Amino acid sequence: MGGGIAGPELAVAVTEAGGLGTVGMASPARMIAELGRARERTDGPLAVNLLLPFVRSAHAGAAASADVVVTFWGRPERPSHRTWIHQVGSVDEARQAHAAGADAIIVQGVEAGGHVRGTTPAAELLEQTVAALPRGYPLLLAGGIADAGDVLAALTGGAIAAVCGTRFLMSEESGASAAYKARLMQAEDTVLTELFGLGWPGSHRVIPNSATRRWLRNDTRGPAPVRMFNRVTRSVMSRGPDRVQSWLVEHQVVGIPLFAPIPPTATMPDSVIETSPLYAGETVARIHTIQKAESIVRDLTATAGSG
Ligand SMILES: Cc1cc2nc3c(=O)[nH]c(=O)nc-3n(C[C@H](O)[C@H](O)[C@H](O)COP(=O)(O)O)c2cc1C
């Protein structure tokens, strides 16, 4: 989870509990620093996530010093000599990633929080992907996993592991702001929209706020001119330096539908809660606690076993 949600605290806590902690995408310098801080606190394996459309050459340092690199979005391409896992949203994409040499694939169902690549429910997509790829090729399942029963279902369906975003977003160690966590605790539903697509057009699952209530009345994808504007300006808007993006996020207003795909973190003013994407998967309706990541991993593996 990029944008400051999954930093070293969360990654270390997950790894120390027996999972594979992942440092989310950020600027190359920040990722290398965060990975370094995480390394000081655990001897276990650590992953970094790279969103392929935003990768710069300097990200190679981060990719080379992680144990595992998890990529997402766009044409799959090996990012470093490290173990490479690519996240996909369709069988076609899974075939491409396999052909490109990915060591494993994360199959993401449409229930997932954050950016959503495909349109198929997780269990169905897993079944289709198991059938499409060589027997024994490692698949992981993402989307809709919040408790031990979900993990068990993923393993029974042919996955070697489960991937959780929303459950760890709602952990003590995630970088989500207190106001964002409070909204997540109250949330009963999510919407799949393209509204927060400035610099990164695409579908993302969020919980409602003032921006979604104002702009998604007629079409949950968002107003057509806004989607068009986001597509046309993508290459310019996605390359702004971090400080320009931060300025934009803090100056967004509900009445102007230009919203960046950056969720509220603890370092932002509380006012951004109404104009930023409150990413969350469908499981948000079933999760009612903010827990330590270590106890989340313990709960998730309670019946599935920790192997
Ligand atoms: C707050 C949030 C931020 C996310 N950011 C990223 C990201 O930066 N890169 C990425 O590959 N996936 C990202 N995802 C998607 C996850 O990789 C994963 O597919 C998803 O969380 C799984 O579904 P779940 O939310 O139901 O657990 C994000 C998800 C959430 C909830």
Q: What is the Cα 36 distance to its own chain's centre? A: 21
265 lines ligand 1 (CB under 6 A): no
State phi, psi for 235 to the nearest 5 degrees.
-65, -35
From the CB of residue 48, how many other CB atoms can be counted at a distance below 10 Å? 30
Amino acid at the residue 204: H
Q: Going by CA atoms, what residue is nearest to atom 11 of ligand 1?
A: 72
Output the pLDDT for position 306.
Answer: 47
Provide the whole-model pTM. Answer: 0.96
196-214 pLDDT tens trace: 999 999 999 999 999 999 9
CA of 250 to the centre of ligand 1 (A): 23
Q: Which two tokens stand for residue 253?
A: 């207003």
264 lines ligand 1 (CB under 6 A): no
47-81 pLDDT tens trace: 999 999 999 999 999 999 899 999 999 899 999 89
158-204 pLDDT tens trace: 999 999 999 999 999 999 999 999 999 999 999 999 999 999 999 99
Q: Going by CA atoms, what residue is nearest to atom 13 of ligand 1?
A: 1
89 lines ligand 1 (CB under 6 A): no
State phi, psi for 221 to the nearest 5 degrees.
-75, -25
Q: In angstroms, rounded to a whole number, what is the distance separating the alpha carbons of residues 264 and 147?
A: 25
CA of 108 to the centre of ligand 1 (A): 9
87 lines ligand 1 (CB under 6 A): yes
Atom number, ligand 1, closest to the C-alpha of residue 73 = 11
**Rama region for 18: left / alpha / beta (φ>0; ψ in -120 to 50; rest):** left
CA of 163 to the centre of ligand 1 (A): 9
